[in-house]
């Protein structure tokens, strides 16, 4: 059977809604609107198959409007439209419609749903935006995270895991983009998350990584002395951290920074030249990680890259200083 033309299906739907339609509603029990909804739905599915996302989204909007006229729940149709507009790159339509549904949820007292959709909106904008140097967009996304957090906190049944999910996403955005005035907050969130997951047996495996994140941030944006102090502090609070692969990596990064990025002779290393530097520290850490474990993730890659540039600058500054001394 040949596929129907979705444009023709839309015309059929519109034909059902010709002048005089609203008078007929009261005589045919809404049969014509149901038929129009059916045509729009069929058209939307074909548009989706053809990857004509904007047209599909527009069909779902029409369906939602008709359902509203029948006093039926229209949020599912709006949500379908959101997905289509997002896939089609229609940013304005996506954001305006998302805001509309959030308002519906809030009006109905469905604060958890409002929080989920707002959080999803922030992540979608983040995925589709080049944030390099765009402080205004960064601020906008952070504010949307805060709005999602407010919605969660307005519902007494909202779980701590939901709020933690948003706090972590916000802390990640702050730390990956080096938003200086917010870094202290991000570090406190990672520490709080580490302590939170320590409370449950199943969550203890995550606590180590959150404590490590704090130390990574001190190395990336502050100094190795403070980083070392916090690493030792967390050794006392988290037994699993002491002796772990990530702790060994952090210790080596601290050593590299303490030595101004210059090579360190190390008898304990199993490498040929027995030298420790930033590149070797990274290689050793990667080698220790089981390939199917997502430990060397995007967050660490970015932050370790910042640490690497900092160590390289220390090395160059030290070399320059030595060259100047030799010249004298």
- Tens digits of per-residue pLDDT, 150-196? 999 998 877 888 899 999 999 999 999 999 999 999 999 999 999 99
Q: Taking 60 as the threshold, does the pLDDT of residue 16 lie above it?
A: yes
User: pLDDT category, 276, cuts 50, 70, 90?
Assistant: confident
**For the chain, what is the mean pLDDT?**
87
Q: What is the mean pLDDT of residues 82-101?
A: 94
Given this model, what pLDDT does residue 204 score?
Answer: 77
pLDDT of 22 strictly over 60: no
Residue 295 has pLDDT above 60, yes or no: no
More confident residue, 169 or 327: 169
What's the confidence (pLDDT) of residue 202? Answer: 72
- 145 in Cβ contact with 119 (< 8 Å): yes
Could you read off the pLDDT of 94-108 as tens digits, one per residue? 999 999 999 999 999
According to the model, what pLDDT value does residue 292 have?
Answer: 41
pLDDT of residue 208: 93
SS3 assignment for the chain? CCCCCHHHHHHHHHHHCCCCHHHHHHHHCCHHHHHHHHHHHHHHHHHHHCCCHHHHHHHHHHHHHHHHHCCCCCHHHHHHHHHHHHHCCCHHHHHHHHHHHHHHHHHCCCHHHHHHHHHHHHHHHHHCCCCCCCHHHHHHHHHHHHHHHHHHHCCCCCCHHHHHHHHHHHHHHHHHCCCHHHHHHHHHHHHHHHHHHHCCCCCHHHHHHHHHHHHHHHHHHCCHHHHHHHHHHHHHHCCCCCCCHHHHHHHHHHHHHHCCCCCEECCCCCCCCCEECHHHHHHHHHHHCCCCCCCCCHHHHHHHHHHHHHHHHHHHHHHHHHHHHHHC
* pLDDT confidence of residue 263: 87
In this predicted model, what pLDDT tens digit does every residue of 111-158 receive, in sequence order?
999 999 999 999 999 988 888 778 889 999 999 999 999 999 998 877
pLDDT of residue 307: 95
**Whole-number pLDDT of residue 227:** 97
Q: Please, which pLDDT band fits residue 206 given cuts at 50, 70 and 90?
A: confident
The model's pTM: 0.83
Report the pLDDT value the prediction gives residue 291, as an integer from 0 to 100. Answer: 47
**Environment class of 241 (CB within 10 Å of its CB; exposed 0-12, middle 13-18, buried 19+):** buried
Any residues with CB less than 8 A from the CB of 148 and at least 6 apart, and which?
115, 116, 118, 119, 122, 166
pLDDT at 201: 75
Convert the pLDDT of each residue in 215-272 to its tens digit. 999 999 999 999 999 999 999 999 899 989 999 999 999 999 999 988 888 766 666 5
| Residue 326, token pair as written in the block | 């030799």
Higher pLDDT, residue 32 or 328: 32
Output the pLDDT for position 124. Answer: 92
Give the start-to-end residue ranges of the domains of the chain: 1-98, 179-328
CA distance 28 to 7: 26
Residue 25 has pLDDT above 90, yes or no: no
- pLDDT on residue 43: 96
């Amino acid at each position: 059977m040949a596929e129907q033309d979705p444009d023709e299906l839309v015309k059929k739907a519109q034909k059902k809604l010709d002048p005089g339609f609203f008078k007929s509603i009261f005589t045919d029990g809404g049969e014509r609107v149901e038929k129009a909804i059916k045509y729009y739905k069929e058209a939307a599915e074909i548009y989706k198959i053809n990857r004509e996302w904007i047209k599909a989204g527009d069909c779902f909007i029409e369906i939602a409007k008709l359902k509203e006229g029948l006093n039926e729940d229209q949020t599912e149709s709006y949500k379908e439209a959101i997905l289509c507009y997002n896939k089609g790159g229609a940013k304005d339509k996506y954001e305006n419609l998302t805001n509309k549904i959030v308002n519906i949820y809030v009006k109905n007292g469905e604060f958890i749903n409002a929080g989920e959709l707002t959080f999803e909106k922030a992540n979608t904008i983040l995925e589709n935006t080049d944030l390099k140097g765009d402080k205004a967009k960064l601020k906008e996304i952070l504010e949307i995270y805060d709005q999602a957090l407010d919605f969660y906190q307005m519902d007494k049944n909202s779980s701590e895991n939901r709020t933690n999910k948003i706090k972590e996403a916000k802390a990640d955005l702050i730390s990956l983009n080096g938003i200086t005035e917010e870094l202290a907050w991000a570090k406190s969130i990672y520490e709080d998350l580490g302590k939170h997951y320590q409370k449950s047996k199943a969550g203890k495996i995550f606590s180590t990584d959150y404590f490590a994140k704090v130390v990574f941030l001190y190395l990336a944006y502050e100094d190795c002395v403070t980083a070392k102090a916090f690493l030792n502090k967390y050794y006392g609070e988290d037994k699993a951290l002491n002796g772990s692969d990530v702790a060994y990596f952090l210790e080596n990064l601290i050593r590299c920074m303490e030595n101004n990025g210059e090579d360190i002779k190390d008898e304990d290393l199993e490498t040929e030249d027995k030298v420790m530097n930033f590149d070797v520290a990274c290689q050793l850490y990667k080698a220790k990680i089981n390939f199917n474990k997502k430990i060397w993730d995007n967050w660490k890659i970015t932050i370790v890259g910042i640490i690497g540039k900092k160590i390289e600058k220390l090395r160059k500054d030290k070399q320059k200083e030595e060259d100047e001394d030799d010249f004298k």
